[in-house]
Amino acid sequence: PVLRPLPAETREGLIEGACSSEDGCLAERVALSLSVIGRALQHYDDVSQRHEAACVRALMLQVQSLVALANGNTSAAMRLVSEAAAIEDGATALLLPPSVTLLFLPSAALEGALRLLLLGRNTTGHAPQAARAAVAAFERCLAPSAFPRMPLCLLGRARALVHAGDKEGASASYTQLLRESEWEEDEAECGRGLEEARVYTSASPSQGLLAFAASEQAEPQGERGSNARIVRMGYLASSYYPDGSTAAWGHDMRLAVELAVQEFNEAVSHTPVQMELVCVVETNGSVAGLNATLARMVDAGVDAVLGADWSRVAVAAAAYLAPYRIPLLSAGSTTSALDQSPNVFRSVYSDSRAAALLLEVVRERIVYGGATDKRIGILGSQDAFGLSGVDVVKASARRAGIDVSAVAAFPSTDPTTGELIGDGCAVNASNILIVQQAVESVRASGVRTLVVSATGPSTQCIFAAAAALGMTSDASYTWLATEEVHPTGGWTSPWGRRVATAAVGYVTYLGRPYEGSPAMRHFEHRFREEHGHAPSSASWAGYSFDLVGLVYEAARAGASADADRSLITMLRTIEYDGITGPISFPAGSSSPPTARIGMLQLNQTGTFTTVGVTDGVTGELDLFLAPFCIPSPGSGLGPFLAAILIGAAVGGAAVAIVTRQSSRQRVPPPIEECCYARI
């Protein structure tokens, strides 16, 4: 719409006049306000009035924060108002006595009010951290260099102290409000605030929340009753790749968590536990802004954070949450860097166990394939996932007596700017040249077997770079990788075909829960019923569903314990029978020791064939060698129709190798369908 000047709003009601909306010209008024503020900001910048410019910039952020709040985006609202408050704090030393900005509402006051508003909406009474954050905001407003007697901030601080359980501090703040502030007694809102203060300061110290406001905010507890323990959870979602393209597996993991919360709350209404997702944030596999997101979750009083299925996100999130004793539960982060993290709990395997299985495949190639070259090269992405995997591969190679001739790494992202490098090849082809340098350095060593430890997008980039260098299975190169890749745009897209040139035949691994079990079948049925489609990966979605079950069991166990037990303590002690299998965390580990892992090989149709699986109880790897076309002793290049049982310890070391005739009735695939890699 064409914006036009509008009359000022009066206290009697909304403005009148022609405009293009039916909400009292609200959209136009907000747009005009931002336009005027923008022009003022430009003026103060032009004349180098630094204090005025800073505070006008803060005013613009205040308006944008309220717009975000009106649109339901509370996380953005808090981020913007916190940024405004920080700008004002930094501008205090530049204050000029006649400054027009003295008439502005302090951003710290608005921040405190928003935090108090969100705290009131939650109505759980179990968010002391969020209440303390509101207190801190109002304290900044009341600083001697700010507005030490502002009634709004005195009242807000008092209310926040009540929520934080500090009755003595709340009483002192209410008393200061009555004695020192200047209110218009006849103004309705002022009168309510003063009456609230009088009621509280005259009440018995044993009384709880205010007679005012609290009763208005309270919501019915439902059939669980007021004694139900409410477990508040944040969720770091992975519905998009770093380049912005959709990650269907990540989106379905989020849907699985939401379904689990719904089902547990409906199915166990007689128990003293109710679960709430209070903050869901998309990360795009990036740590940019992650600390601010986690700070908001902490302020909201979350008991646990779920998701963080990109390892770089999980490592950073675990470190941030650890001092607060808040557990991080992930269904997708497999990095070995989290193996001993005291506040991390995963429903999925760790790469310290899974990546070692790739070296067992290499070892079998040497033992049964008659390979004379016993060397490998390693390529890794320079991030928590890639580098920790490189360490696992190197250690596993030493145990297996395999020589590592070359190791090269490249950045998946720029750690300073967050710019995508290895992770951004699909949208910026020039990045391939950066990755290609690492691939070329490994090729120069003369190795023909290469193991990749990198993020999914960076693994795609490695294959694209290798294709440009002619390093394909047809050229006698064997590839193994820690990630199941799904090229941006699909395998039939130009980018997908480029990746496939080198990727066809590579071997990787993936979680393999018992997908035919009644529990998994029921989960897939409910997922399809709720969302209209089957999960793109039942494994990943199932692991996510089990996260909620873990939190529920731990919370229920803690609620029934005689002593006050933390959620982290209870997660360490429970043994949970999830839909993906048994989950427990013995000896301080962060992942189940016997999670089933499948070995996969990419075929020419762009799908993966299962060529091995670990036992869900013993952890042994049952490797089906037919698809690898490893020559049987004395039989030329025919498929070796035996299975190798590899007893793999949790750390990945082989403890026993037994050759036996397979008891399964399998028909080996034709040679032209299985000889993709010369393993």
CB atoms within 10 A of CB 13: 8
Amino acid at 634: G
pLDDT band at 49; cut points 50, 70, 90: confident
Nearest to 580 by CA among 611, 616, 553: 616
pLDDT band at 24; cut points 50, 70, 90: low
Q: Which of 134-143, 214-223, 353-362, 449-458 has the highest mean pLDDT?
A: 449-458
pLDDT band at 415; cut points 50, 70, 90: confident
pLDDT for position 232: 93
pLDDT for position 642: 30
Q: Which residues pair with 599 in a beta bridge?
A: 509, 612
Nearest to 330 by CA among 384, 394, 403: 384
- Among 129-133, 179-183, 481-485, 562-566, the range scoring the smallest mean pLDDT is 562-566
pLDDT band at 157; cut points 50, 70, 90: very high
Amino acid at 458: S
Q: 89 pLDDT exceeds 80?
A: no
103 — phi, psi (to 5°)? -85, -5
pLDDT band at 228; cut points 50, 70, 90: low
Per-domain boundaries in the chain:
26-217, 229-348+516-584, 351-511+597-606
Q: What is the pLDDT of residues 11-22, one digit of tens each?
A: 334 444 455 555
Nearest to 391 by CA among 374, 375, 409: 409
pLDDT band at 101; cut points 50, 70, 90: low
Q: Which residues of 109-120 are buried (b: 16+ CB within 10 A; e: fewer)?
A: bbbbbbbbebbe
Cα–Cα distance between 560 and 553 in angstroms, integer?
A: 11
Residues 183-212, mean pLDDT to the nearest whole number: 60
Pair 502, 479: CB distance under 8 Å: yes
Cα–Cα distance between 328 and 364 in angstroms, integer?
A: 37
% of the chain at pLDDT higher than 70: 77
Pair 518, 227: CB distance under 8 Å: no
State the chain's mean pLDDT as an integer: 78
- Among 235-244, 528-537, 553-562, the range scoring the smallest mean pLDDT is 553-562
CATH fit for domain 351-511+597-606, picks 3.40.50.720, 3.40.50.2300, 3.40.50.300, 3.10.129.10:
3.40.50.2300
Q: What is the pLDDT of residues 646-677, one digit of tens each?
A: 333 233 333 233 333 333 333 333 333 333 33
Q: Which residues pair with 644 in a beta bridge?
A: 623, 659
pLDDT band at 465; cut points 50, 70, 90: very high
Q: 522 pLDDT exceeds 50?
A: yes
pLDDT for position 52: 82
258 — phi, psi (to 5°)? -65, -40
Q: 286 pLDDT exceeds 60?
A: yes
Helix intervals (H) in 420-575: 431-443, 456-468, 494-503, 518-531, 538-560, 567-573
pTM: 0.59
Q: Which residues pair with 583 in a beta bridge?
A: 576
> Which run of H or of E encompasses 153?
helix 151-163
Angstrom CA distances, 389 to 150, 242, 338, stand at 56, 20, 11
Q: What is the pLDDT of residues 120-136, one digit of tens each?
A: 655 444 467 778 888 98
> Which run of H or of E encompasses 623?
strand 621-624
Residues 99-122, mean pLDDT to the nearest whole number: 78
What angle, 0 to 180 degrees and rounded to 10, lies between the N-to-C axes of helices 151-163 and 128-141? 160
Q: 237 pLDDT exceeds 60?
A: yes
Nearest to 285 by CA among 142, 422, 468: 422
Question: Of residues 562 and 168, which shows the higher confidence score?
Answer: 168
> Which run of H or of E encompasses 647?
strand 642-648
- Angle, CA of 414, 420 and 421, to the nearest 5°: 80
Question: Of residues 181 and 124, which shows the higher confidence score?
Answer: 181
Q: Which CATH architecture has domain 229-348+516-584?
A: 3-Layer(aba) Sandwich (3.40)
CATH 1.10.645.10 for domain 26-217, yes or no, is no
Pair 127, 301: CB distance under 8 Å: yes
| Fold match between domain 229-348+516-584 and domain 351-511+597-606 | yes
State the DSSP code for 448. S
Joined together, the tokens standing for residue 291 give: 């600390």
Joined together, the tokens standing for residue 661 give: 């005739």
pLDDT band at 389; cut points 50, 70, 90: very high
pLDDT for position 390: 95
Q: 375-381 and 304-307 as β-strands: parallel, antiparallel, unpaired?
A: unpaired
pLDDT for position 182: 61
Angstrom CA distances, 180 to 1, 147, 151, 161, 365, stand at 48, 12, 9, 19, 83
Q: 348 pLDDT exceeds 90?
A: yes
- Phi-psi label, residue 357: left if phi above 0, alpha if psi -120 to 50, beta otherwise: alpha
**Location of structure tokens 């003022």:** 40
Pair 627, 611: CB distance under 8 Å: yes
Nearest to 232 by CA among 315, 310, 123: 123
pLDDT for position 181: 62
| Contacts for 162-168: CB closer than 8 Å, 24+ residues apart | 162/200, 162/209, 162/210, 162/214, 163/116, 163/119, 163/125, 163/127, 163/128, 163/130, 163/131, 163/134, 163/209, 164/128, 164/131, 164/132, 164/135, 165/128, 165/131, 166/135, 167/205, 168/205
3-state helix, strand, coil in the chain (%, to 5): 50, 15, 35
Cα–Cα distance between 532 and 171 in angstroms, integer?
A: 54
Q: 344-346 and 375-381 as β-strands: parallel, antiparallel, unpaired?
A: unpaired
Cα–Cα distance between 386 and 481 in angstroms, integer?
A: 11
CB atoms within 10 A of CB 390: 25
Q: 642-648 and 621-624 as β-strands: parallel, antiparallel, unpaired?
A: antiparallel
Q: 338 pLDDT exceeds 90?
A: yes
Query: In a 3-state reduction of DSSP, which class is residue 413?
Result: strand
